[in-house]
Structure 1
Amino acid sequence: MEIIPGRDIVDRLQRFLPAPATVTITCLPHHGPSETVDLAVQLAKLGYRAVPHLAARSIQSRAQLAGFTARLEATGVRDVFVIAGDAGSADGPYSWSLPLMEDIASLSGLSIGMAAYPEGHPTVEEAELTGLLLKKQELATWAVTQMCFSGPVLATYVDTLRAAGVTLPIWAGVPGAVRRTRLISLAGRIGVGPSLKFAQRSGSLLRNVVAPSSYDPAPLVHAVSEAGVFAGLHVYSFNDVERLGLPEQ
């Protein structure tokens, strides 16, 4: 499950998604990598399998990166998820994800995850995206799709990647039972915008995403499971951990 660093998130995780659950932590421009790493370390000490996101454009130097990787490994963190990041310009030497992945691999034994884009990327052509995935899979060990609301779109995308030579395990990025208002308000901050545009082109999806008070992911989860091509689910929670459907601890 993916969370955003924020107030009370650790307490709420312990109540509604106790350790040793796997939790990934976003790295958004307004809080930066230090807050992400701090939270990952805290969760790892509490027994979670913490997976911090490291955004290339937010890393200030190779020395800072070395400090992050050493600290994470010392706490028992085994994985990091590497993205270019949403910042408009780079704070240091990394303007995109591949050089950051190369330095992480040279500095540590951390397993590296990368992002995949079933609905494309606003600034990169599809052919270029696939080529980049092929290059990055030499360093990565798994991939997670950006959020998508369509099981067939996700499954077709995996078939396309396999045909192109991408062999990594792929986790399907799906929304949790998120409140409608929160899903829409945070859409642009975690790459949900393209998926909402896709939903708006489908009457049934539009009713499921926009009309109810909260999104029901059950049909999508069933479709992903039926496809049989994914390593598992990566759930975008938007910190609505109370709506996961698990009993409070």
Structure 2
Amino acid sequence: MALPTRVEIVPGGGVVDRLQGLVSPPATITVTCLPHHGPEETVGLAVKLSGLGYRAVPHLAARTLTSRRQLMHFTTRLADAGVRDIFVIAGDDKDPEGPYDWSMPVMEEIADVGGFNTGFAAYPEGHPSISEPELTQLLLKKQQLGSWAVTQMCFSGDVLNRYVARLRSDGVTVPVWAGVPGRVRRTRLIALAGRIGVGPSLKFAKRSGSLLRSVLAPSSYDPAPLVRSIERSNAFAGVHVYSFNDFSGIPRA
């Protein structure tokens, strides 16, 4: 049985026109919040997508928010547009633009407003600056405010399945969405994966038989075998596709 699918997009480049041609409403579309475009563009795009019939999930990066007033303005706009899910992250900015230097205070503010389901990030291959025990403690705290989690992009079903089993044994009970790459050209995918910190599973893929063929094939990475392994585990709420705005092959098992 196929799992629910969410598609992550990046604002810009006529993304909505291209999306509409290949992914129909009421699909769930998540919208990134990167330093070079900021939260205003993310929220605006989420509002637009909701108006087109999609279930929009904006990302809010804590370090990009300039004030509590700005955050409240965003939550009002999103609520008025019918958006009910927000994914909260710390963000890639080194220095915060305002009072929030990590995701928890933003999650607390949104919880006080009410009416939203908040998601947060999970790291099956670890975090470069946070130890594994610290990550576990953070997830336990965040699940008191959040409704679901999304994993960092991963190329290995075994890594993802072991990770969610470990989360459950540690007491993390929220639904987890498995973050997987879409059908992206392999040269671009590998370059992007290196930039966003995906390491062990990509290294494994390069020296593994079947994964070697799927990741390093001449054309595009095929996520279907990875998605099938995730579905067989029966451990995930759904599949979160990192599309990099390539919608030609959203994975289906």
- Normalising to structure 1: TM-score of the pair? 0.94
Equivalent residue number for residue 97 of structure 1: 103
Structure 1 equivalent of residue 148 of structure 2: 142
Contact 2:9/2:30 (CA < 8 Å) preserved in 1?
yes
Could you say which residue in structure 1 is the equivalent of 2:25?
19
2:50 maps to 1:47: no
Query: What is the identity, as a one-letter code, of the residue corresponding to 1:220?
Result: L
Cα distance in structure 2, aligned partners of 1:50 and 1:242:
20
Give the Cα separation in 2 of the matches to 1:229 and 1:111. 20
Distance 1:80 1:62 in 2: 16
Unaligned runs of 5+ in 1: none
Q: Which moved more, 1:219-228 or 1:194-203?
A: 194-203
Match of 2:113 in 1: 107
| CA displacement at 1:197 relative to structure 2 | 3.7
Secondary structure of the corresponding residue to residue 2 of structure 1:
strand
Q: Conserved in 1, the CA contact under 8 Å of 2:8 and 2:31?
A: yes
Q: 1:38 to 1:16 in 2, by over 3 A?
A: same
- For 1:151, the equivalent position in structure 2 comes to 157
Cα shift at 1:180: 1.3
Is the CA contact 1:41–1:75 (under 8 Å) kept in the aligned structure 2? yes
Matched position secondary structure for 2:100: coil
Alpha-carbon distance in structure 2 between the residues aligned to 1:68 and 1:193 = 34
Helix, strand or coil at the partner of 1:242: coil
Q: 5+ unaligned residues in a row in structure 2: which ranges?
A: 1-6
TM-score normalised to the size of structure 2?
0.92
How far 1:191 moved relative to its partner?
4.5
SS of the residue 1:23 aligns to: strand
Identity across matched positions, percent: 67
Tell me by how many angstroms 1:64 deviates. 0.3
Q: 1:224 to 1:39 in 2, by over 3 A?
A: same
Query: Aligned in 2, Cα 1:161/1:192: closer, same or farther, shift over 3 Å?
Result: same
Equivalence for 1:240 = 246
> Does residue 1:185 correspond to 2:187, yes or no?
no
Note if 1:216 corresponds to 2:219: no
Q: Secondary structure at the match of 1:230?
A: coil
Secondary structure of the 2:248 match is helix
CA contact (8 A) 2:223 2:251 kept: no
Q: Is the CA contact (8 Å cut-off) linking 1:148 and 1:195 kept in structure 2?
A: yes
Render the CA deviation track for 1:63-109: whole Å, top value 9, x for unaligned: 00000000000000010000111111111111111111001111232
Alignment of 1:124 with 2:126, yes or no, is no
**Number of residue pairs matched by the alignment:** 246
